[in-house]
Amino acid sequence: MFKIGITGGIGSGKSTVCKLFEKINIPVYYADDRAKWLMNNQADLKDKLRRSFGTEVYDNDGLLNRSYLADIVFNDKSKLDILNGMVHPAVFEDGIKWQKEQEKKGAIYTMKEAALLFETGSYKTLDKIIVVTAPQDIRIKRVMSRDNISREKVLARINKQMPQSEKVERADYVITNIEWKSLNLQVSEIDEQLIYLAKRK
């Protein structure tokens, strides 16, 4: 199975690009969404989180108290490392199961969407990497509109991430997400190349 990773900084619009690939029947594994699901539903992971961060990490309904957890890990790298050390392996195992399911269904290639593809090292398990980019001003406006937050808060988030330029340097393909017509064309061209490579593999 030919495995593709897709990533990009906040506001780059990688989810929009993934939806375009899904429209042409390419399966996409949304790692960040699955991480949230696993933290709410996988019993073993929930037990680990309770032991490390206290029982308050889940509310009375057994759902993750995201604001409580965020307050703990946001400014404490050691606590963030503990959290990632639990969640990333669980997502990795979940992704392998998903991958096998897609292979049985006969997918030509699959995509894994993750914000921290390079940072977690999961890019090493993939054949090719797509990085979605956009000018910083556009990214800022998108996130301000989406999350209803200030420009300063968006910039703070951007500055905590790997620089877009570094991601571009490490990419096999770069998609510039500014204008809809161009975006569709870029996705179509990359899809053709990936199908060719997948068949050769």
- In this predicted structure, what is the pLDDT of residue 186? 97
Overall average pLDDT of the 68-90 stretch = 91
pLDDT tens profile 18-66: 999 999 999 999 999 999 999 999 999 999 999 999 999 999 999 999 9
Q: Which domains does the chain have, with CATH numbers?
A: 1-27+110-196 (3.40.50.300), 34-106 (no CATH)
Q: Report the distance separating Cα 163 and Cα 158, nearest Å.
A: 8
Output phi, psi for 166, to 5 deg.
Answer: -70, -40
- In this predicted structure, what is the pLDDT of residue 6? 98
Q: Between these two residues, 156 and 4, which has the higher pLDDT value?
A: 4
Mean confidence (pLDDT) of the chain: 94
Structure tokens at 189: 């061209």
Cβ contact 134:176 at 8 Å: yes
DSSP assignment string, 117-167 = TTTTSGGGG-SEEEEEE--HHHHHHHHHHHHT--HHHHHHHHHHSPPHHHH
Count the helix, strand and coil residues of the chain and give each as a percent rounded to the nearest 5: 60, 15, 25
The pTM assigned to this predicted structure is 0.91
CA atoms within 13 A on the CB side of 157: 16
